[in-house]
Structure 1
């Protein structure tokens, strides 16, 4: 997930919260006492610059509340560290988790903000020893920091990347373990999952590979992959102020959200109890 400015645009996201949670999600707020599906993710799930993100489209087609737990610039840690998450997940009939980047995780090399996981907080003594020539106080975002480390020394940055990939698998496994019902994984990007991911570019989810997704297979009821070429399936369906247009251009647009909902829909219908299916 790239850093996406959160200034005003033309959409009302109706931000809301749920009891016990410290996070702000995209609304409208849903009644968790009703039958529902939960959608967990970052900026792409929140639907920044999109009037009807994929959770809303699923909601319309399923005839069942789809709770959008998307958070702008969140990573896996945002959810695992939220005290209300287990309670929110408890009643879900199914959960869809967006594959989020591996760079926005606290690990043995550095720590990130507990809610805004794209924000770099501090380097550990281990990372400071690995890169003694770097002044880590100049970094505010994880992507910027990792890009600099990779540019200085690819061999040393490879050790950091290995740690992040291992941490990603462990955190995703822990998140799946919190969910009592079936779990689907959604990959939504401008490319299919790569075999290798050893560079810090602008592709999302950063540093996540096919091998990492395969490690999650035992914990999943299914997986959907949406490769939405930038410029074809990016952008917005809303007029935007000038400063927002570049940010919208690197995020999945309405067509990508429609594809994600269309491919998730039959899988969810198969997973739901018969009395909740609206074919």
Structure 2
């Protein structure tokens, strides 16, 4: 496996900001004085622990400037709350929009951090009434929250999931409308075996609801690095291996770039 050498920059260090945005996205910062494509997404688009994320690979394949607007643990709330990033994505000839996780957004049951959308801030009175047996003070991340609620009572969890699906669809449809440019929707299905999967995934039915607003939709199954044996091709610190195992490795980014390149060429 690869560890970060002293003084060597890791993908975590290669971040930048655009305009007045407070969201750190994958760097280096790109000039926006010419035509470009944009990739708007979360941790996978950022390419955590990966030297060359799919956005950069896509630029090489298409020979068209491609700006990476991927931020670690960013989702719909982070993007919609950042007018500078939205402006950049809107100004692109085409925007690849990675579908965010359902649970990484504020809703009537709980609030998330406005920029780090994986951070659980507080439960509403409604959620506490629905799950009076759950101690929310011990929960700090939305993924943990979902798994905890699902384990506590699968039937009551369906009420939360229905709310998440409704809010996610409303905000995703709004985001695509606000972007007002050509959009390619990217759903990454991270297939796991022993690793913990997404407790509330974006379903094919939900994807079909927003597909008419986009020029194309891509549904790509991928495996995390810990399952695909790619840790040796990634860059991470000695204490970051557990996190790296859940990230996408270089081979997965190659697959995503290839599929995107073919789809975008078909649109030209």
For residues 228 and 101 of structure 1, what CA distance do their matches in structure 2 show? 15
Please give the residue correspondences for 1:186-265 in structure 2 after superposition, counting only pairs within 5 Å.
186-191=186-191, 202-204=196-198, 206-230=200-224, 231-232=227-228, 235=231, 237-265=233-261
For residues 151 and 141 of structure 1, what CA distance do their matches in structure 2 show? 16
For residues 205 and 88 of structure 1, what CA distance do their matches in structure 2 show? 32
For residues 230 and 220 of structure 2, what CA distance do their matches in structure 1 show? 12
Aligned-pair distance for 1:11? 1.6
Contact 2:146/2:199, CA 8 A, preserved across alignment: no
Is 2:135 aligned against 1:109? no
Please give the residue correspondences for 1:54-93 in structure 2 after superposition, counting only pairs within 5 Å.
54-93=54-93
Aligned length: 257
Aligned-pair distance for 1:248? 1.5
Contact 2:107/2:163, CA 8 A, preserved across alignment: yes
Is 2:260 aligned against 1:267? no
For residues 30 and 160 of structure 1, what CA distance do their matches in structure 2 show? 40
- Calculate the TM-score normalised by the size of structure 2: 0.88
Which structure's residues are more often helix, by fraction? 2
Task: Return closer, same or farther for 1:236/1:164 CA change in 2, 3 Å cut-off.
Answer: farther
For residues 16 and 23 of structure 2, what CA distance do their matches in structure 1 show? 8
Correspondence for 1:11: 10
Contact 1:96/1:184, CA 8 A, preserved across alignment: yes
Aligned-pair distance for 1:204? 4.4
Task: Return closer, same or farther for 1:10/1:20 CA change in 2, 3 Å cut-off.
Answer: closer
Aligned-pair distance for 1:159? 0.0
Correspondence for 1:196: none
- Calculate the TM-score normalised by the size of structure 1: 0.85
Correspondence for 2:146: 146
Contact 1:9/1:244, CA 8 A, preserved across alignment: no
Correspondence for 1:33: 33
Extract structure 1 runs of 4+ deviating beyond 6 A.
Answer: none
Contact 2:234/2:249, CA 8 A, preserved across alignment: no
Contact 1:161/1:207, CA 8 A, preserved across alignment: no
Gap regions ≥5 residues in structure 2: 1-6
Is 2:161 aligned against 1:161? yes
Correspondence for 2:137: 137
